[in-house]
Amino acid sequence: MIKVTYIEQPRPDTTREYWARRWRVHGGFAMQFAEFWDPIRLYIQNDCLADPSAFAGTDPSFGGVGELFYSDLDSCMASLGTPNMPTILADGSQVFARQRSVHLITETRDLLGSRPAAVRIFAYATRPAGMARTDFQKELEAAFEGSLAVFPAPPFHMSVAHNLEERESHESVLDFSFHTMDEAVAGHAAWADHVSGDGFLSAALLRDPLKVATHTHILYDTDNFGEG
């Protein structure tokens, strides 16, 4: 599956509460444009925790991670290429500070489960200099999947996403989620300790570190229409 993912900071003149409300409004605004919205299969807004201090190494300056899922690259590019895209982006500029943003068009794969749970951690990975992209992606997936054994209780969901084009940093995104805050705090602590002792993962995740802890909100899911 193809996923457009973006991590953004809130505008400095807004509160966390206003940010969350205004981001929901922005999502609803985008939904009115059928050419843009109809190809989307799944839309998730992940609000960064107001106080992420329980998750060591997370960046508190970000507001959220957005995710748009598509069946294939053609439908993704058709959606992003619609004439209404400038209007949607202009509305987004009323929400996002547009500083330190990371926008990716990725191929994503679920390693565990199919939908994220309530508390979710995103960790961005950077390929070491001189390593081939395909080798990096394979090793990153294997190392991340292999780290499942270190969690005190298994995550409800894990996935990995790789940008389709080469980037200097933040080329891949790892995420895992739990139903409760206590599970997430304990799981993250165990995983972070594992990463610090794993040469490959620490090189990928700590070279240009970017990690956030979030609350997940699935706002649109075409696979679950009509279900209670």
pLDDT tens digits, residue range 64-94? 999 999 999 999 999 999 999 999 999 999 8
DSSP-derived pairing of the beta strands 102-112 and 157-163: antiparallel
CA distances from 129 to 96, 103, 125 (A): 31, 21, 13
Q: Are 173 and 106 in contact (CB under 8 A)?
A: yes
Q: What is the pLDDT of residue 24?
A: 95
Distance CA(189)–CA(175), nearest Å, equals 14
CATH numbers and ranges of domains, the chain: 2-224 (3.30.70.100)
- Secondary structure of residue 177 in the 3-state scheme: strand
- Per-state percent for the chain, helix, strand, coil, to nearest 5: 35, 30, 35
Q: How far is CA 77 from CA 17, 64, 105, in A?
A: 32, 23, 10
Q: What is the pLDDT of residues 134-166, one digit of tens each?
A: 999 999 999 999 999 999 999 999 999 999 999
Residue 98 has pLDDT above 90, yes or no: no
Token representation of residue 26? 């922005």
What are the helix (H) ranges across 45-198?
Answer: 73-80, 85-92, 133-146, 181-196
Looking at the chain, the whole-number percentage of residues with pLDDT higher than 90 is 86
Residues 190 and 184: their CA atoms lie apart, in Å, by 10
